[in-house]
Structure 1
C-alpha cells in the first residue's frame, strides 16, 4: 500500500470540514451575492439558480470547453470565472479610465466584506479586483513600476470596511514595488551583491506568498474568516514589507539623487503663480524642465553612468540598519539582508587577501587593478607606478595618507560631499580595514610574481564569515600579517636586501674612498673632456678596473650591477629647477625665492645649448645600479635617483678637493718656496719693496687656496660623517632589529632616509643651493688656474730680482682680488643661510655652522 496515494487507502473517507449549518450559511451568502450581481447586470432573478448561476441558454460562455461546476465546495471560484468575465467586460465598457469602481450601495455589510475579502486576495498579489481597482492618479503603463502599484477601494464601500481596507492596501504597493525591483536588479549589469540582495528579498516574498495562500485557504474553507482577521494576520507583514519598500526606494533613487527633489518639486511647479513667473521670464514648463535637465546632466554625467552596486549597496544597507537601530524588527531585517547581500563581497575579499587574485567581474570591490601596469615598468619608472598604481583603492586613498583629493580614475560623488558610486564606495563597516585589505593582496601578488607558490596561512580561522561578523575582521588582520611577514622574509632573507643597501651606501656615498680616488686618477684625462666627447665604454672599463682592485666582500658580489652613465644636465641647475617647481620654502619668502628661481631658469634655458656643449664629463658623471624584481620595489628608480643626486654632490666635492690638493702640491715647488732676492742694480729700498710685494701676493694665494680647501673638506666631512653615516646607522639598526613591521613601512623608511640625507646635505633649499654652487664653482675655477698662478709666480720672482716696473704686479693683484672677493662674498652668503636654517628649520646644520665659522676666523 502506498501511504501517499489516497486511492489505495482503506476505511471510511473523512468528510469535509464544513457542517451542514456552515454549508448552508456560505451557500446563502454566495447566492445573495450572485443575485445582487445579476440585478446590477440586468439579468432577471428568475434566470439564476439557487447558487446565483444563470439558467438556460443565456448561461453559455464564450469558451465552449468550460463546464461550470455548480458546487461551491468543490470549485468555489467557478462562478467567478463563468460569469465574472462577462461582468468585467460590461464593467470595462461602462467604466472609463479614472472612473469609480463597481458600486456597493445597498449591499449588506456582510456581503460587502465577503466581496472585498475576495478582491483583496487578488490585489495583494498585484491583480486589480472588482471593487478594489487602480487609484485614479495611477497609470500602469506610464508610472514607474519601482514605486509600486497604487490601489483604491470603491467609495461606496462601508466606511468601517473602507478604513480597514485602506490600511491593508499598502501591502499591494510594497509587494509590487519590491517585485519590480527584484526583476530589474537581477540583470547581470548590477553585479553579484545586487543578485544576492534580490535572492534574499525573493525568499522573503516567498513567505509572503505562502501567507497569502494560507489566507486564501482560510477564506475558502472557514466562514468565520473576516476582514479583521485578515488585518490581524497581515499586520506584521505590513511592517516588514514597508521596510523592504523603503530600502528599494532608496536604492532606486540613489542612481539619480535629484529624482526625489524633482518629484517633490513637481507639484509646486504646477502652481499658477510659478507658471506665471516662468512665462514672464520666457521659460515655459517644457523649457524650464529642459534647462534643468541639461544642468543636472552636466553635473551628474560622471557618476550617473555607474549603477548602484557593490559597496554602495552595502553602505546603504548598513546606514539604514544603523539609523533604525531603535526598531528591533528593522535591525533584524536589515542585518539579515546585509549578511546575505555581503556574502559575494566577502568571498571576493577572502580570495583577494588569501591568494592575491582579484576576482571582480562587475567592479564591485573596493580594490581595482590597472592591468596595463606590469613589472616591466620598474626599469624605466621614476614614480613607482607598479607599486603605487597597479593595485589601488577605488576611492583614491593611499595607505601613506588619508587625503581624499580627487584623482584620475576616481569617480565623482553622487552629490557634493556624498558617497562615491558603485565599487568606489567602501562600506563603513570596512573603512578601518580597507588599507589592510589592499596591502594583503598586493603583498601576495609580489610573491606570486616571483614564482613562489602561496601557501595557506595555518593561523587562518575557519567558519562562516559574513560582513557584519567579527570573524571577517580577524581574517583580514591574519591575512595581512601573513602576507606581510612572508614578503618581508622574502626581501630581507632570500633577496639579501640589507647587503644590497650596504653596497649602495658604499658605492654612492663614497664610504670606500680608495675606489673613487682610484677611479678619478685613472680617468682624469677622460673626465676633462666634454660630456658628449667622453667615452662611456672607456669609463666603464676604468670603473671595473677600480672596483676589481679596491672592492672586497659584499661589494665584490654586487659590483657587476654598477655602471657609469652621463646625466643630461648639471647637478645644481637641475636641483634648482626641481626646488623651484616643488616649492621647498613656504610663505612670502618662498614665493619670492621661487620667482627669482624662475627668472634664473629662463636665463638658463636661453643658454641651455651652450651649457650642454660646455658641460664637462666630471659634471655629468654619475653611477647607476641594476636591481631585479622584487628588490626593485625597494630600490626603485626614484630611490636610485636620490642616490645619484647625493653621489654627484659628493663626487663634485671630492673632485674639487683633489684639484685643490694638487694645487697645494704644486705650491711646494721652487717658484713658491724660494724667496725672491734683489739684484742690487737698483736702490736697496725699491728692491726690498718689490720683494715684499711678491711675497705678500704668494701668501695671499696660499691663504685663499687653504681657505677653499678647508671649506671643501669641512663640507665633505660634514656630509659624510655627520649626515650620511648617522642616518644610515639608524636605518640599518631598524632593519637588523626587526623594527620594520610592514613592507610599506620599509619603503617609507628607505625614502625618508634618502630625503633626510638630501635635506641635511643642503640639496633641497634653493638659497643654500645657489650660494653653495657659486662657491664650489669659484673653488674649482681657482684650482683650474693653478698653472697660470705658477707662471705668475715665476714672473713675480723674476721681476723682483730684475727690478721691473710695477704694472704687471698690479694685474696679478687684480686677478687674485676677483677670486678673493667672489669667494668671500658667497662664503658669507652661504654661512648666513646655514645659520638661518640651523636656527629655524634644520637643526642638523648646527655642526656645519661651527665648522664654517673656523674658516671665517682665518685672517
Structure 2
C-alpha cells in the first residue's frame, strides 16, 4: 500500500496564497462602472489576497459593487414615480447593499430599509468611496427620493407640510467638506422638483380652471426634459468610468436655474388662504341661518357676488397670467427667465385667448370656471327693461369683473371681490392681465354688441381664420380691434337704420318737451274737469281716451307713427318733493348716472299716490319702447323724460291759469270805478300787478327752458347722432343730453329746487284764488253801493299781502341762487339771470 502523501490525499488541491486568474477576472468584472487606476502591488502569491484588500482601499475608483452596473433609479423608484415626492419614498430597496464587501457594510448602515435613522459616520470611508456613495444618493434625491446619506429634513412631515413648498433634504454631517459644498449646490433641485411635481398634480384638478390646466401641461413638458436629463445622467453613472460629482454639477447647473424660476413662480401662484373662509364655522352657520329666516337664497346671493372675497377664490384665470407676466417683466434682464416665462405665458394664456375669441366673435360667454375678465349676471334679462325702473340691462348684464366702467362709475362694485392685500391685485378672473388692461372695455363692448344682436334673433359670427394667436403678439390686438369694429358697426346700423332710433327720439322730444304744444293745450282743455280732481280719483282710462283724441287731431307725420306708444300715467309723489328727496340722498349731484339711477329707484320705491295731490300735479306720460331700442331709451331715461315733462307741464298749467285769471280780471268787477273807495282801487291794482309779475316770471322760466335749454341741446344731440361711430358713444350722448337738460332746467340743485318750488306753488295757489278775488271785488262794490262803506278791506289786504310777501321773498332768493350758480357752476344760467333781472326791473322801476 502506498504511503499517504499530500498529492494523493482525496480532495487535495494546490494551496495558493493569492487568487487565480479566473477568480481575479470575476472580481474585477464588477468594477466596470468606476475608474481603474490601480496602484502597483507586489505579485507575490503569498501576499496577493491581502494586497487585493489594500488595492481596493487605495485605488482612486468607486467601490466595486454589482448594483452600480444596474440602473440605480430603477432599483429604488416604486410604482407611482414621484408620488414619493409627497414623503412616500420607495420603501423597498434591493439587496444590492448586501453585495458590497463586508468591510464597508458598517459605513453603509448595514440595512436596506429607508425608515431607519442612520447614525453611521463616513469619517473612516475614503474620499473616492464617499464620492461614489453620495453620487448615487444624489441621483435618487433629484427624483425626490431620499438616499442613504441624504435624508429628509428631521422636521419634515408628509401629513402636515405643504407639498407645494417642496421637500427639504439634509446631508450626513460626516461627509467630507470638499464634497459637501458641491452637493449643497445640487441639492435644491430635489426641493424644486418635488414642489413643481406636487403643484402640477394639485393644480390639474377641475376647480382651478382651464388656465391652470394649460399651465400644468406646459410645466409637465418641461419636467419631461428634466427627467430625460436624469436618465442620461444615470446612464453615464452606470457606464462611464470617468463620471464624477463635478461632471454631475456641470450637467445640472443650468437646470437648477430653470427649475428655480418655475419653483418661485409656483410659490407665488400658491394661494395658501384659498380654502379659508373669512367667517368662522359658527359665524358662517349663523349667517346662513339668518339668510334662511329672511328668505334669502344663498345660491342667489353668491350669484349676485355679494359673498365674493379674495380668500374664497383660487389663483386662477387672469390672475395666473398676471403673475407670470409680472415675473417676466421683473426679470427682463435674464434671457433664461424671459424664455421660460414667455413659454408658460403663451401656453397658459391659450384657453384664455380662446374664450375671449369666442366672446368677441359670437357674443357667447363660455367661461365655466369664471376665469376671464367678463362676467355675466344671468338673472338679468331683457324683459326687465320693460317693467323695472331700476334696471340697467346694458350696464349690468355683462360687466367687467374688476367693476370698472368706461364712464368711471362706481355703482356696480357690489360683486367685485376684495384684493388679496391692501393695494394688491384682485383675485381670480377679476384680475385683468396687464397685456389686456388697455383693451378691456373694447373686449367687453364687442361681446355685448353681438349679444344684443343675438337677443334680437339675428345670428352673426365674425369671420375668424382660426389661427393660433398669443396674447403677447401684435396680431392678437389687431384681431381685437377688428372684432370690436365689426360688432360696433353691425349694432349701430341695426339701431339707427333698421330700428329708426332718431325718429323715435324726435317723437319723444315732441311729446315730452311740449314742442307740439297744440296737442297739450287741447288735452288740458278737454280734461280740465278730470285734472282738477284728486289724483287718486282721476280716471286714467278717461284721460288716455282724451289724449288719443288730442293726438289724432294734432299729430302729423312721424308723430302719428308713434302716437300709440304714448300712455297716460299718474306719478305717486309730487315733482318737487320727489326731486328734493333724490338730491338730498345723493348730495349736489352733478354726475349723470348716479342721479338717474337714484331717480329711477325713488320712482319705483314710492308708495301709493299722495291723497292730497291734484291730478294735474301727478299727470305724466309713459312711452313704450321695445328691445333693442330700450337699451338707448331705457326705463331710467324715461324717468328723466317724465321729470322734465312734469316740470314743463306745471309751468304751462300755471301760465294757463294766470292767463285765465287775466281774462277774469277783464270782467265788470275789475273794470268799474269807485272814486270814493281809493283803497279798493289800490287793492285791485295790486292784485293785477302781482298776477302780471307772476305771469312774467312763469313765461320767462318756460321760455328759457324751451328755447335756451331743450331746443339747443336737442340740435346738438342730432348733430352728434349724425356722426356717431360707436354704440357706447351713442348711449353716452343720449344720457349727456338728458343730464344737461336736467341740470340747466335747475332740477339738480337742492337750493334752486327749493326756491323754485316755493315760487311755482305760490303762483299756482294765487291762480286758484281767481274766483275768490272776483267774489271779494263784487262784495266790495255791492257794499259801497248799498251802505257806502266796505268793512272787508282789511281781510283782503291781509290775504294779498301774504301772497306778495311770499312771492317777493322767494323771487329774490331764486334770483340770488341763479346768479350764484351762473357765476360758479352753471354758466348756461346766465341768460336766465338777464331775463329775471328784466322782470324785476320792469315791475320795480
Q: Give the alignment's TM-score, normalised by structure 2.
A: 0.81
Give CA-to-partner distance per residue, 1:772-829, whole Å, 9 cap, x none.
2222222222222222222333333344545611323443333333322322222222
Aligned to 1:362, what secondary structure does the other structure show?
coil
Residue in 1 that maps onto 2:710 = 724
Q: Which residue of 2 aligns with 1:788?
A: 772
Equivalent residue number for residue 83 of structure 2? none
Which residue is 1:64 aligned to? none
SS at match of 1:807: coil
1:756 aligns with 740
Q: CA deviation at 1:320?
A: 1.0
CA distance in 1 between partners of 2:629 and 2:365 (Å): 23
Deviation of 1:553 after TM superposition, in Å, equals 0.6
C-alpha displacement of 1:669: 2.4
Matched, 1:81 2:81: no
SS of corresponding position for 1:418 = coil
1:346 aligns with 2:330: no
> Is contact 2:744–2:829 with CA below 8 Å preserved after alignment?
yes
Aligned partners of 2:33 and 2:239 also within 8 Å:
no
Q: Which residue of 2 aligns with 1:560?
A: 564
Partner of 2:447: 441
Distance 1:614 1:523, change over 3 A: same
Contact 2:66-2:96 within 8 A present in 1 as well: no
Alignment of 1:151-550 (within 5 A): 151-253=169-271, 255=273, 302-401=309-408, 407-457=413-463, 463-550=467-554
Q: Distance in 2 between matches of 1:400 and 1:164?
A: 60
On the 8 A contact 2:215/2:348 being kept in 1, the answer is yes
Q: SS state of the match for residue 567, structure 2? A: strand
Q: Shift of residue 112 of structure 1? A: 3.0
CA distance in 2, matches of 1:371, 1:646: 34
1:144 aligns with 2:142: no
Separation in 2, partners of 1:717, 1:463: 62
Q: Confirm or deny that 1:583 pairs with 2:587.
A: yes
- 1:27 matched to 2:30? The reply is yes
Alignment partners' CA distance in 2, 1:505 and 1:571: 19
1:570 aligned partner:
574
- After TM superposition, the structure 1 stretch with the greater mean CA deviation from structure 2, 497-506 or 798-807, is 798-807
Corresponding position of 2:610? 612
Q: Distance in 1 between matches of 2:409 and 2:778?
A: 69
Give the whole-Å Cα distance in 2 for the aligned partners of 1:745 and 1:31.
Answer: 79
- Shift, 1:625, TM fit: 0.4
Structure 2: distance between partners of 1:816 and 1:241: 94
Structure 1 position 822 matched with structure 2 position 835: no
1:689 matched to 2:673: no
1 CA distance for matches of 2:68 and 2:198? 35
Partner of 1:109: 127
Give 1:475 deviation, angstroms.
Answer: 1.8
Q: How does 1:648-667 map to 2 (within 5 A)?
A: 648-667=646-665
Q: What is the match of residue 4 of structure 1?
A: none
Are 1:707 and 2:693 matched, yes or no? yes
| 1:791 to 1:430, Cα distance in 2 relative to 1, 3 A | same
Deviations 1:730-762 (A, max 9, x none): 1111002x1x33222222221221121111111
Aligned residues of 1:565 and 1:622 also touching (Cα < 8 A): yes
Measured in 1, the distance between the counterparts of 2:711 and 2:633 equals 19
Structure 1 residues 301 and 823: alpha-carbon distance in aligned structure 2, compared to 1, 3 A threshold: closer
**Which structure 2 residues correspond to residues 760-779 of structure 1 after superposition, within 5 A?**
760-779=744-763
Provide the residue aligned with 1:843 in structure 2.
827
SS in 2 for 1:829: helix
Question: Structure 1 residue 393: deviation in Å?
Answer: 1.4
Partners of 1:72 and 1:622 in 2: CA distance: 97
Alpha-carbon offset, residue 392 of structure 1: 1.3
> Bigger CA drift: 23-32 or 444-453?
23-32
Query: Displacement, 1:25?
Result: 6.7
Q: Does 1:745 align with 2:729?
A: yes
> Contact 2:569/2:622 (CA < 8 Å) preserved in 1?
yes
Q: 1:101 to 1:215 in 2, by over 3 A?
A: farther
Structure 2 counterpart SS, 1:689: coil
For the Cα contact (< 8 Å) 1:308–1:421, is it kept in 2? yes
For 1:23 and 1:247, locate their aligned partners in 2 and report how far apart those are by CA, in whole Å. Answer: 52
Tell me, which stretches of 5 or more residues in structure 1 are unaligned?
A: 1-20, 34-44, 53-68, 259-299, 587-600, 677-687
Q: Secondary structure at the match of 1:193?
A: helix
Decide whether aligned partners of structure 1 residues 836 and 323 sit closer, same or farther in structure 2, where only a CA change above 3 A counts. Answer: same
Residue 614 of structure 1 aligns to a residue whose secondary structure is coil
What residue is the counterpart of 2:84 in the other structure? none
Q: Distance in 2 between matches of 1:547 and 1:301?
A: 52
Q: Contact between 1:124 and 1:172, CA under 8 Å: does it hold in 2?
A: yes
- 1:91-112 deviation line (CA, Å, top 9, x unaligned): 4869997944654444333333
The residue number in structure 2 matching 1:622 is: 620
With over 3 angstroms needed to count, the CA separation of the structure-2 counterparts of 1:552 and 1:103, relative to structure 1, is: same
Please identify, of 82-91 and 168-177, the stretch whose mean Cα deviation from structure 2 is larger.
82-91
Change in Cα spacing, 1:671 to 1:229, as seen in structure 2 (3 Å) is: same
Residues 355 and 824 of structure 1: is their aligned pair in 2 closer, same or farther, counting only changes over 3 Å?
same
With over 3 angstroms needed to count, the CA separation of the structure-2 counterparts of 1:72 and 1:514, relative to structure 1, is closer
Scaled by the length of structure 1, what TM-score is found?
Answer: 0.79
Q: Secondary structure at the match of 1:612?
A: coil
- Structure 1 residues 789 and 143, CA gap change in structure 2 (3 angstroms): closer
Provide the secondary structure at the position in 2 that maps to 1:465.
coil
Map Cα deviations across residues 394-439 of structure 1 (whole Å, 9 max, x no partner).
Answer: 1221221175x99322212111211111111111221111121111
| Counterparts in 2 of 1:340 and 1:328: CA distance versus 1, 3 Å | same
Inter-partner Cα distance in structure 1 for 2:676 and 2:75:
143
Give the CA deviation at 1:390.
1.2
Partner SS for 1:199: helix
**Hey, what does 2:59 align to over in structure 1?**
none
Q: 1:856 aligns with which of 817, 840, 844?
A: 840
Aligned-partner SS, 2:312: coil
Task: Please give the secondary structure, in 2, of the residue aligned with 1:731.
Answer: helix
Aligned to 2:788: 804
CA pair 26-557 structure 1, distance change in 2 beyond 3 A? farther
Contact residue 563 and residue 625 of structure 1 kept, 8 A: yes
* Match 1:670 to one of 665, 668, 671: 668
Is contact 1:101-1:131 (8 Å) kept? no
Computed over aligned residues only, the root mean square deviation of the Cα atoms, in angstroms, reads 3.4
Conserved? CA contact 1:375–1:386, under 8 Å: yes
2:324·2:345 contact (CA, 8 Å) conserved in 1? yes
Between 1:427-436 and 1:187-196, the stretch displaced more is: 427-436
Report the secondary structure of 1:337's partner residue: helix
Aligned 8 A contact 1:437 1:480 in 2: yes
**After alignment, is 576-585 or 495-504 more displaced?**
576-585
1: distance between equivalents of 2:546 and 2:149? Answer: 103
Give the C-alpha shift of residue 236 in structure 1: 0.9
Unaligned runs of 5+ in 2: 1-23, 37-47, 56-64, 77-92, 277-306, 591-601
